[in-house]
Structure 1
Amino acid sequence: MPDGLDYVGSMKHWILILALLGTAAQAGTVYRWVDEDGRVHYSDSPRPGAEAVELRQPNVYEAPKNLPKIQSGSRTPEAGPAGYDSLAITYPEPDTAFWDNQGNFSLRLSLEPELNTSAGHRIRISLDGKVQGTTRNLQWQFTGVDRGTHSVVAEVVDGDGNTLISSDPVSFHLHQQSINLPARKANP
């Protein structure tokens, strides 16, 4: 039985030696040579006629440790001088569908804190990417909007027209009766 224990102890030493040699080989030099048949060989041990190969450093990418958290909802500037916390469209709600043959509807907003009109701030309203106008109120009346799917955005702007805070865009669907389908008469 003592022979078996000596064998296990001896194997542990050999494994340790082989592991250390493997580590040394990784950090060592690589040699290249061509044999008499024209085949190229590489090795970690030098041979007569072999030349040392210079290995390039591997490309290493390290991911950033702390990425900023992306928030959904109202967007505010990082260190905005305006001091607005949120701007949101409360009506129409996203993906709302409604009927109005004249294309009239109201827009309602919420803004925290309230609009700083003494600093010249205004609310700019855009429909489908086109500015409709500015207001100091949290309501806006649209008139004559064509049928279809539309997107509305509200922004608080300073006196120079710079955006201080913007709402998320809200899409809605406006339906109108077709002029090609007049109202049907009631059945007798």
Structure 2
Amino acid sequence: MRTRFFLLTGLLVATLAAAQPVYESHDRAGPVFSDMPTPDAREVDLPPVNVMDSPAAPTLPPSPPAAATYTCLQITQPEEGGTVHSNTGQFSVALILEPPLKIERGDVIAVRLDGTLLPERRTSLQFDVTADEWQMAARDQVEHALECKLSA
């Protein structure tokens, strides 16, 4: 609050100082300019302040279009609540994604099995969880959880 007060006071004083007349008088060293009139001083008519327009701001290239957001990511295989029969632990996964996966943008699918992030990122909507990934991530339980998430 005090800063604003001092700032406004300073601006007011500067404005008033700019509006004051200027007087010219002469002494032995030459002309003397002052804002206080002396008996032999004359008021100087100052030209208008030299003001220049600032250069136009450079035009910025158009920003790239906003990235399309994905509206649907659904696991279709294995079915929710379904049963997967595999002696090795390897099984197939199929996804639906709208709009299609933007691989050129670096988008990938991260997969979690029973809460463990699998090391390989997928770039296809159909892939296999390998036996090695199953051994690394699956817990010793009857029911398992599969999660897929988009990441860049």
Higher relative contact order (CA 8 A, sep 6+): 1
In the superposition, the TM-score normalised over structure 2's length comes to: 0.47
In the superposition, the TM-score normalised over structure 1's length comes to: 0.39
Higher share of residues assigned strand: 1
